[in-house]
A and B are shown apart, each in its own frame.
Chain A
Amino acid sequence: MGVEFIYPEFEVVRNYDRCIACRVCERQCANEVHFYSEERGVMISDEAKCVDCQRCVSLCPTRALKIVKSDSTLRENANWQNDTIKEIYKQANSGGVLLSSMGNPKPLPVYWDKILINASQVTNPPIDPLREPMETQVFLGKKPSRIERGKDGKIKCELPPQIALSLPVMFSAMSYGSISYNAHASLARAATELGILYNTGEGGLHEDFYKYGKNTVVQVASGRFGVHEDYLNAGAAIEIKMGQGAKPGIGGHLPGAKIVGDVSRTRMIPERSDAISPAPHHDIYSIEDLRQLVFSLKEATQYKKPVIVKVAAVHNIAAIASGIARSGADVIAIDGFRGGTGAAPTRIRDNVGIPVELALAAVDKRLRDEGIRGNVSLVVGGSIRSAADVIKAVALGADACYVATAALLALGCHLCRTCQSGKCNWGIATQRPDLVKRLNPDIGSARLVNLMTAWRHEIMEIMGGMGINSIEALRGNRLMLRGVGLNEKELEILGISHAGE
């Protein structure tokens, strides 16, 4: 108390006319906000522990609870806002680096929301997706730049390995450790049912999930956790993680407290030992070094798996992507600065990197200008929130999108942004068995399938509106996009005209 006191961010509002003191809220809250007072015979709350995850609100049988933002007010001004002041207090109290979860919350431009999509009128009729066939399938991997014929004059049909996706979306990397077994089970099963891929992240692949290998991207990060021969051969593709949009330029650090039981086994490191992924791969200091890792992975898997190189969207992304496209990689994944994370230093998350919309447009243009666009497929993430974002990304040049936060929301995440505590009441970002079991993979996978099925319908409907019946015909088709409220430079980088032009 005293100088260290920070007023709680949320208030628990309990309607005592409705509360029957059934203590569901108490049992549901891993943060121990709610408790029963024997003395007074009522439920009481300690709102200082509340993270606004809405678990108690959602499960209260009499709808007696709501959580509201506290209106206790610091004397803010335009320069010193509430969060800015409280962050100073937290650091003065602890001496610690601020650690946050999920994507950048700052009011920086979301270019998706400033881009509008075209539709056909009169001269070029729209297509009705309910009546006519629509193709949303995409293939990721190197595409030959010209037709080659054998000595017998026949066209050579062998292609480098390709990933087939029923729609241009994949679930992006979230490690087992940062999220739970049941969350991984839900993602793996949904990806299999949908004909798309999910991604192990850098925490290895649990033995139970090898059977979903055809729909799995296995990741190789600087810590190389859980990476071995069987793992590399288990997936449909291998992703080298060079960077992450939420924390470009820094490594990962899963605290020892979360390295328990299965997580330890899957990462193949001892229990309670920190899992540190260094910021760089210490064997990669150049595109030539990257090429070496790409080809060592291809060699170990006998050229059967496409290799994805994932990088964060940063200032020189076009030049970086140009290098990666020459490294032998089959796919480049670009993660924008709004991408989510289980934990990242606040300052990095909120201040480092660039929007993926601009990065994508710049990379696609650069690769086309250099005549190497066919060397690689482009996948973008961070953050793709809807079918409209997917359409806009494809029209800007993406082959597919990575989706993670939206997938977690489908599983029950309420974006309370305290993943780093390991006390996720929705059973997602936790390893506590009593919490993990709250996420039922049957329900979780069904909800993910629902979400993606809905997106697929929306994608088809928007495509139909444009008079396009194949997603391949939309890729890089920037004529289908117009900007609103963007300046000339932004339009130039995005390669689109302003609305009305």
Chain B
Amino acid sequence: MIIQGKGLSYRDINDKLRTADKEITVRGCLGQRFICAGMSDVSVTLEGVPGNALGAYLNGAGITVNGNAQDAVGDTMNDGRIVIRGSVGDAVGYAMRGGSIYVKGDAGYRAGIHMKAYKDKIPVMVIGGKAGSFLGEYQAGGVIVVLGLGTSGRKIVGNFPCTGMHGGKLILRSDCRDIAFPDQVTARPATDQEKNEIDRYVSEYCRLFGGNKEEMMDHPFTVVTPDSKNPYKQLYVAN
């Protein structure tokens, strides 16, 4: 089913998504916020540019954006999949707990902050291009991958990545010599086993967006993990 998004408010669009088929295309999105908020069993393709908080609290639905997306994509997402065939704005995947987000291009500031994991829920966010500052701040679980495609030798991550990180891992397709990490994390080259894991993400990326997987894998990868699940343990004295 195809919905013409032009002139529709976000409430109109979401009402249609809740009642329509399981497979829906929305044409002519123009900044409507909250599309698919909390939805679980639809598969939605968006054309145009959806507004902020796309797929907030997403609970299993699938979203593909044939274009760019704005801020707060996948906020507090619990399950499902978001594929962006372009770039995303700030705070993508804030506090996401499950599901996956694949971004063909770049991500803005604060991508994946406070991402968490729980039991079988291990969220994955793959960013094809570069990520802005504060990547993975307070990360408590899950996997964030930044491939840095098309950055032609420049830094693939902005300033202050992993501040307050206490779980999960960050994988960067870079030797990271130009990136400063905080004290409470360890950045090291990926092991062979981790390369296998990375191979899965890169394969999926290439399946979705195209590209030469072998070329992408033939590159140094850095894995960043926190040293402790309890980074603030020593800070207090009972009074």
Contact = CB atoms under 8 A, between A and B. Distances in A.
Interface in B144-189: 164, 166-167
Nearest to B59: A229
Contact of A223 (B33, B91, B114, B118): B114
A51 B141 CA distance: 37
A420 interface: yes
A269 B116 contact: yes
Interface string B107-142: 000100110111101000000000000100110110
Given A273-B229, A296-B57, A421 B72 contact: no
Contacts of A255: 230, 233
Contact of A299 (B10, B94, B110): B10
Interface of A is mostly: mixed
Given A223-B95, A282-B113, A421 B141 contact: no
A133 interface: no
A256 to B, nearest CB: 5
Interface stretch (B22-30, B34-42, B190-198, B206-214): B34-42
B229 A274 contact: yes
Nearest to B52: A292
A224 B237 contact: no
Given A96-B237, A283-B91, A421-B238, A295 B138 contact: no
A270 B53 contact: no
Most chain B beta-carbon contacts within 10 A, residue among A95, A222, A228, A256: A228
B53 A98 contact: no
Contacts of A94: 237
A97 B33 contact: no
A206 interface: no
Interface in A211-252: 220, 222-224, 227-229, 232
A253 to B, nearest CB: 6
B230 A274 contact: yes
Contacts of B33: 292, 295-296, 299
- Residue from the set B71, B121, B237 with the largest chain A CB neighbour count within 10 Å: B237
A94 B237 CA distance: 7
Interface string B201-235: 00000000000000000000000000001111111
Contacts of A299: 10-11, 14, 33-34, 37-38, 56
Interface residues of A, number: 43
Interface string A412-432: 000000101100000000000
Contacts of A346: 239
A268 B231 CA distance: 19
Contacts of B231: 274
Nearest to B116: A269
B87 interface: no
Interface in B68-99: 71-72, 75-76, 78, 90-91, 94-95, 97
Nearest to B237: A96
Contacts of A421: 238
A224 B113 CA distance: 11
A232 B230 contact: no
Contacts of B233: 255-256, 274
Nearest to B110: A282
Contact of B140 (A96, A97, A253, A269): A269
A301 interface: yes
Interface stretch (A56-64, A85-93, A377-385): A85-93
A479 interface: no
B230 A270 contact: no
What 4 pairs across the A-B complex have the smallest Cβ distances? Answer: A96-B237, A300-B38, A224-B95, A98-B239
Given A96-B234, A283-B75, A299-B33, 14 more contacts: A87-B239, A97-B237, A98-B236, A224-B94, A228-B57, A232-B57, A255-B230, A268-B97, A274-B232, A276-B166, A299-B37, A299-B56, A301-B38, A420-B236
10 contacts: A91-B237, A96-B234, A96-B235, A97-B237, A268-B116, A268-B118, A269-B118, A270-B118, A292-B72, A296-B72
